Amino acid sequence: MMTATIRLQREDFDAAAEAAKLTGGRTDIGAVVTFSGICRDHEGGHGVSAMTLEHYPGMAEEEITRHVAEAEARWPLQGVTVIHRFGRMTPGDNIVLVVTVSAHRQAAFEAASFLMDYLKTQAPFWKLEERPDGKDWVAAKQSDDNAAARWVKS
Partner 1 sequence: MKLLYFAWVRERIGKTDEEVAPPAAVGTVAELMTWLAGRGEEYAYAFENPKVIRAAIDRKHVQPGTSITGAREIAFFPPMTGG
- Interface contacts to partner 1, rule CB under 8 A: 37, 53-56, 58-60, 62, 84, 95-96, 116, 119-128, 137-140, 144
Return the number of the residue (78 or 98) whose C-beta is nearest partner 1: 98
By beta-carbon proximity to partner 1, the closer residue of 5 and 121 is 121
Angstrom distance (rounded) from CA 122 to CA 145:
9
CA dihedral 27, 28, 31, 36 (to 10 degrees): -80
Residue 58, Ramachandran bin (φ over 0: left; ψ between -120 and 50: alpha; else beta): left
CB of 128 to partner 1, least distance (A): 7
CB of residue 11 vs partner 1: minimum separation in angstroms? 17
Minimum CB separation of residue 58 from partner 1 in Å reads 6
CA atoms of 70 and 65, how far apart (whole Å):
9
